[in-house]
Structure 1
Amino acid sequence: MPSPFAFPGDFRRLWIGQTISAFGDKVSRIALPTVALLGLGGTAWDVGLLAALRFLPFVLLGSVAGVWVDRLSCRRTMIHADVGRLVAMGSIPVAYLCGVLTLVQLFVVAGVVGVLTVFFEVAAQSYLPILAGPDGIVAGNERLQTSRAVAEVGGAAAAGGLMQLLGTALAIVADALSFLVSLVTLVRMRHREPPAVRSGERRSALKEAREGLAVLLSDVRLRALMFASTTVNLGVATANALVLVFAYDEGKLSTGAVGLAFAIGTAGLILGAVSSGAIARRFTLGGTLASSILLTGSGFLLLPVGGQGAALITLIAGQFLIGFADSVFNIHVLSLVQRVTPPEMMGRVNGTALSVVFGTGTLGGLAAGFVGTVFGTLPGLVISAGIICCGAVFVLVSPLRTIRAAEDVAAAR
């Protein structure tokens, strides 16, 4: 059977590199705050700041990264980002062995890695359509999403084992080495992108960034996807912040039980990733997007419906449904964006989209505090689920509802 990918060898290298990198990233996301708390006497505030320094750059620099990627080479951008992340993350175990590791260094490393990851992710999302080709976009996103879901499980397990075996600081070596593997796969790629076509006019980066937003808003399909994704992300971020409150305060669950529920949720991520293509062929792309949004909302709605008595059962079932629907939705949203967006605008559109996604995530965390305080945890989950389900409206009232298969995307206007 012929490969669906335009450059199968290079896509395989990208896939391997991304899989190993996702595995290492999960290790460092657990090990880095553990180093701060147990090794350097950090506080909960320090842990929160570490998380913010790694993810806030997506909000602030997504559009800037998009301009950069459209002006230069995706592959070269990814190589430079991997070199920088390798050096930054590798400095932690080196400083630990030398006895000079501090919280300030952790903050600097988290910030540097966060900034470079923005550029890497925008470039990777823009590079995949080139390596996969039009017929391989969905299959490529399915494989990458499956790998990342598996890395969530394997990386978490490996983090615990490595921290036990090597110590918390030295466990971060795994993430540094994952960047090295990703770097090697990129260097070995044979395909070279053609140089970007530039007009004779010298334009500012701000103007080019605005062009990315203009493309998102002018194309009715991209606009519907952006509004749907924004609504869903806002609701999910709000609900996620309330789920643990429900589990511990309302359900009186142990940490082990909560961990089991989230592990089963990861199994839903994997199942959704491997079956997303078959689901879309069976139910159409438009129907799949709308259904996955409603299924996500239903997963969160199970918690207040079941109440305190069935907290463990509804948390497990809800996390599985949410993970399953999240994979299906994300794979097809990303694939549609990559099919619809003009190649010369891919970086700016992806960068702007990432800024919106992480921006609504930040807003959702603040909304959770307000909703939970004013209305309570259970009503807050109902409100969050309602917000999520509203995202389906943007799909159902747009041309997206008529798209039956990936091949129909170009014709849907």
Structure 2
Amino acid sequence: MPSPFAFSGDFRRLWIGQTISAFGDKVSRIALPTVALLGAGGTAWDVGLLAALRFVPFVLLGSVAGVWVDRVSHRRTMILADIGRLVAMGSVPVAYLFDAVTLGHLFVVAGVVGVLTVFFEVAAQSFLPTLAGPDGIVAGNERLQTSRAVAEVGGAAAAGGLMQFLGAALAILADALSFLASLVSLLLMRHREPAAIKPDKPRSALREAKEGLAMLWSDARLRNLMFASTTVNLGVATANTLVLVFAYDHAKLSPGAVGLAFAIGTAGLILGAVSAGAIARGLSLGRTLAMSIFVTGLGFLVLPVGGQGPAMITLVVSQFLIGFADSVFNILVLSLVQRITPPEMMGRVNGTALSVVFGTGTLGGVAGGLVGTVVGVLPGLVLASAVICCGVAFVLVKPLRTMRDAASEPVASPANPPQPDARRETMRPTA
């Protein structure tokens, strides 16, 4: 059977590199805060700040990265980002060997890695359509999402083992080496992108960033996907803030039981990743997106409905449903965006979308703490579930409702850009 990918060898290299990198990232997400707590005298506040430094750059720099990616080779951007992340993360075990690990050093590492990851992810999402080709976009995203799902479980187990035998600081070396593996996979690629078309007159980065937002707003499909994703992410981030409080305070589960429940529930991520395309072909794209949003809301609603009954089973079922639906939704949304966005706009659209997604997630985290304090954890989970389900409204209207699947949409190109919605054509984009 012929490969669905346009450059099958290069896509395979990308996939292998990103799979290894996903395992390394999971290790460092556990090991870096452990070093802060046990090796540098950090507090819970410091751990929270480390987490923020990895994700806030997406909010602040997503659009900037998009402009850069549309001007520069995607592959070159990814190579430079991997080199920078390799050096930054590798500095931690080196500092440990010289007994020089400090909180300030860890903050710098987390910030540098966070910034470079923004550029890498925007470039990677923009590069995949080239390597996969129009017919391989969904399959490519399925494989990458499957790798990330497996890494969530395997990477956590690897982190535990490495920290046990080597210590947390030396365990971070695994993440540094994973960036090296990603770098090698990129250097071995044979395909080279055509040079970006330079405009006749110099254009400001701000103007180009606004064009990315304008593209998201003017195309009805992209606009509805953005609204749906924003609504779902707001609800999910709100609910995620309350899940652990529910597990420990209401269900009285032990940390070991909670960890096991999350690990078992991750099977849903894998199932969703391998079946997203097939489900969409059977139900249609709009119905599948609606189903995945509804199941996500149901997954969180299971917790307050189940109460303190079989708490372990309730948490496993909840995490399985959420993981399954999250994989399906993310794969189909990303695949459709990659298919219908003109290549010369891909970086800016992806960068702007990532800014919106992570910005909403940050807001949702704050909202979760506020809602849990004001109305309580159980009512908060019900409210968050309702917010998530509101996202269904944006995928059950035209044009998403009438789309069979992402592969049925014409591929965007400079000569065949998505057509703006005539009713919204004159509206200005809003932030």
Same fold at TM > 0.5: yes
Report the secondary structure of 2:266's partner residue.
Answer: helix
User: For 2:391, what is the secondary structure of its paired residue?
Assistant: helix
Unaligned runs of 5+ in 1: none
Distance in 1 between the 2:71 and 2:392 partners?
35
Q: How does 1:242-391 map to 2 (within 5 A)?
A: 242-391=242-391
Equivalent-residue separation in structure 2 for 1:248 and 1:101 (angstroms): 33
Counterpart contact for 1:18–1:144, Cα < 8 Å: yes
Shift in Å, 1:408: 2.2
Shift of 1:310: 3.1
Task: Give the partner amino acid of 2:104.
Answer: V
User: Deviations for 1:296-333, whole angstroms, at most 9, x for unmatched residues?
Assistant: 00000011111122322221111100000000000000
Aligned to 2:81: 81
Q: Does 1:47 align with 2:27?
A: no
- Identity across matched positions, percent: 81
User: 5 Å matches for 1:76-115?
Assistant: 76-115=76-115
- Which deviations, in whole Å up to 9, do the C-alpha atoms of 1:263-303 show, x marking residues without a partner? 12211100110111211111111111010000000000011
3-state SS of 2:410 partner: helix
Q: How does 1:107-256 map to 2 (within 5 A)?
A: 107-256=107-256
- Compute the displacement of 1:357 (Å): 0.6
Secondary structure of the 2:189 match is coil
Cα distance in 2 between the residues matched to 1:303 and 1:399: 34
Partners of 1:96 and 1:406 in 2: CA distance: 48
Q: Is the Cα–Cα contact under 8 Å of residues 272 and 328 in structure 1 kept in the other structure?
A: yes
Off by >4 Å, runs of 4+ in structure 1: none
Post-superposition offset of 1:12: 0.4
Superposed displacement of residue 57, structure 1? 0.3
> RMSD between aligned alpha carbons?
1.0
Residue deviations 1:228-271 (CA, integer Å, cap 9, x gap): 00000000000000011111111111111111111122111001
* Equivalent-residue separation in structure 2 for 1:376 and 1:46 (angstroms): 27
Instruction: Confirm or deny: 8 A CA contact 1:271 1:324 kept in the other structure.
Output: yes
In structure 2, list runs of 5 or more residues that go unmatched.
412-417, 420-431
Separation of aligned partners in 1, 2:236 and 2:184: 36
Q: Which residue of 1 aligns with 2:427?
A: none
**For each residue in 1:31-51, what CA deviation from the matched residue of structure 2 results, as whole angstroms up to 9, or x when unmatched?**
000000011111000100100
Q: Which secondary structure does the structure 2 equivalent of 1:410 belong to?
A: coil
Aligned equivalents of 2:178, 2:9: Cα separation in 1: 20
- Within 1, Cα distance between the matches of 2:156 and 2:55? 19
Residue equivalent to 1:6: 6
1:405 deviation in Å? 2.2
Question: Deviations for 1:171-213, whole angstroms, at most 9, x for unmatched residues?
Answer: 0000000000100010110100001112112111111001000
Following TM superposition, by how much is the alpha carbon of 1:410 offset from its aligned partner in structure 2, in angstroms? 2.7
AA at the equivalent of 1:304: P
**What secondary structure does 1:31 align onto?**
helix
CA contact (8 A) 1:224 1:398 kept: no
TM-score by length of 2: 0.95
Matched with 2:428 is: none
Alpha-carbon displacement from aligned partner over 1:47-74 (angstroms, at most 9, x marks no partner):
0010011110000000000000000000
The answer to whether the 8 Å contact 2:39/2:101 transfers is no
Contact 2:285-2:403 at 8 Å conserved across structures? yes
Answer yes or no: is the 8 Å Cα contact 1:67–1:348 preserved in 2: yes
State the one-letter code of the partner of 1:301: L
